[in-house]
């Protein structure tokens, strides 16, 4: 039987999402209402929109939703801190028995949330949303994603292939996640380390509803590099292996140079023994210094242990210490059952 006492929170990181946010809020509020009527979640369930320092009207739209009484909580970061930090801020701010994280672009199928809740009621504490296919991605993105998951697995990191940040976590899993203090965040690798009972829910991914992707090629590469250097020391071991190979090669070149100089007349004095090893060793040294420098940089950031984010304002959650700033709906209607018509009035503003 459904557990009507399940308090659900849905965390949605937002950065310059004014174009898609109205539709996202409409679909999520309709979903909450349907799940409440079906008795699968409690009426206290909420949507947490986390504004990651947006430069457009994202925050004002969120405040309007809170003001008219939609089941929305607004969390505003003091400045832009990146998707992973914004997601973490939402997860740690959200109350409830089950917390689901989803992007604002509506590419993830929201209907999978009900299936995730079913797995949660069956005893799973982490439920991963995994894409069935990547047909909506470009050829380049499909190929690079496939090889990324293979490489990260070969390096020893635990990841769920074709899983981004669409997942359900229980309250106990969230509490355990707070024990991780890394400044360099890669949540897709950290969460499998929790070790709680997990399940996978597959879904079809759609194209972005509106707006532009917040993960261009540069950020995708940064995230991939973060994943490798945060969960594997293989690049450092590779340097040691390269050093051994270079040593063997240097010995071979030395022997060849001596043979040419002593037993043939074809040698250009000094060329073979100076130019080739110089360029080769110089390139290897620069590569090694770059990899070592990346790890030293991470150690530097971790040693300073600076806060990962600051929350400047929370609205719509009286327990959070900011006061309940929602307006009471006409006729005493519950905020969870806020009508789409009221929501639409905000969209037109």
What is the structure's pLDDT at 315? Answer: 94
- How many Cβ atoms from other residues are within 10 Å of residue 99's Cβ? 25
Q: Are strands 126-131 and 198-203 parallel, antiparallel or unpaired?
A: parallel
Contacts of 246 (CB under 8 A, 6+ apart): 280, 281, 284
Tens of pLDDT, residues 56-76: 999 999 999 999 999 999 999
> In this model, does residue 204 exceed pLDDT 90?
no
Mutual angle of helices 234-263 and 217-231, in 10-degree steps = 90
| Dihedrals phi, psi of 146, to nearest 5 degrees | -60, -45
For position 342, what pLDDT does the model report? 39
What's the start-to-end Cα distance of the chain, in Å?
Answer: 42
Nearest to 72, CA basis, from 57, 88, 56, 50: 50
Higher-confidence residue of 294 and 273: namely: 294
pLDDT in tens, 231-277: 566 676 677 677 767 766 766 766 776 676 667 766 566 665 676 67
Phi/psi of residue 12, nearest 5 degrees: -130, 100
CA 306 to chain centre: 20
Mean pLDDT of all residues belonging to the chain: 78
> Which range among 92-101, 102-111, 172-181, 299-308 shows the weakest confidence by mean pLDDT?
299-308
**pLDDT(196) > 90:** yes
pLDDT of residue 27: 95
pLDDT higher than 80, residue 330: no
Q: What is the pLDDT of residue 308?
A: 85
| CB within 8 Å of 40: residues ≥ 6 apart | 2, 3, 4, 6, 114, 117, 121
CATH topology of domain 8-231+307-347: Spore Coat Polysaccharide Biosynthesis Protein SpsA; Chain A (3.90.550)
Percent residues over pLDDT 70 in the chain: 64
- pLDDT for res 62: 97
Tens of pLDDT along 122-152?
999 999 999 887 666 666 666 766 666 677 6
Query: pLDDT tens digits for 80-108?
Result: 988 889 999 999 999 999 999 999 988 89
Name the residue among 72, 32, 64 with its Cα closest to residue 48. 72
DSSP assignment letter at 201: E
Mean pLDDT computed over 216-222: 61
Structure-block tokens of residue 27: 């679909």
Domain ranges of the chain: 8-231+307-347, 234-304
Q: What ranges in 196-306 are assigned the alpha helix state H? A: 217-231, 234-263, 271-304
Phi, psi (degrees; rounded to nearest 5) at 66: -65, -40
For residue 117, what are the contacts with CB-CB under 8 A and spacing of at least 6? Answer: 6, 8, 35, 40, 41, 98, 168
pLDDT for 328: 32
pLDDT at 3 > cutoff 80: no
């Amino acid at each position: 039987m459904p557990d009507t006492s399940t308090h659900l929170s849905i965390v949605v990181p937002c950065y310059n999402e004014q174009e898609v946010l109205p539709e996202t809020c409409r679909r999520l509020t309709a979903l909450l209402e349907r799940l409440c009527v079906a008795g699968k979640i409690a009426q206290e369930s909420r949507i947490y929109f986390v504004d990651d320092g947006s430069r457009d009207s994202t925050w004002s739209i969120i405040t309007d939703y809170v003001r008219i009484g939609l089941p929305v909580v607004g969390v505003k970061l003091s400045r832009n801190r990146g998707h992973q930090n914004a997601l973490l801020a939402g997860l740690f701010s959200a109350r409830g028995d089950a917390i689901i994280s989803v992007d604002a672009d509506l590419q993830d199928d929201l209907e999978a949330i009900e299936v995730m809740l079913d797995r949660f009621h069956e005893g799973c504490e982490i439920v991963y949303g995994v894409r069935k296919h990547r047909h909506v991605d470009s050829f380049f993105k499909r190929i690079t994603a496939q090889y990324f998951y293979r490489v990260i697995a070969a390096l020893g990191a635990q990841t769920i292939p074709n899983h981004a940040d669409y997942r359900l976590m229980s309250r106990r899993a969230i509490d355990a996640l707070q024990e991780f203090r890394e400044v360099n965040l890669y949540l897709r690798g950290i969460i499998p380390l929790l070790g709680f009972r997990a399940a996978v829910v597959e879904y079809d991914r759609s194209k972005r509803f509106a707006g532009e992707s917040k993960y261009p090629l540069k950020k995708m590469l940064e995230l991939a590099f973060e994943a490798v250097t945060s969960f594997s020391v293989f690049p450092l071991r590779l340097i040691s292996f390269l050093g051994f190979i270079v040593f063997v090669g240097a010995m071979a070149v030395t022997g060849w140079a001596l043979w040419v100089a002593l037993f043939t007349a074809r040698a250009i004095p000094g060329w073979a023994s100076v130019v080739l090893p110089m360029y080769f060793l110089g390139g290897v040294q620069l590569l090694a210094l770059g990899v070592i420098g990346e790890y030293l940089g991470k150690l530097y950031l971790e040693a300073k242990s600076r806060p990962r984010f600051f929350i400047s304002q929370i609205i719509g959650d009286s327990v959070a210490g900011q006061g309940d700033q929602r307006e009471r709906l006409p006729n005493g209607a519950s905020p969870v059952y806020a009508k789409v018509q009221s929501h639409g009035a905000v969209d037109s503003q």
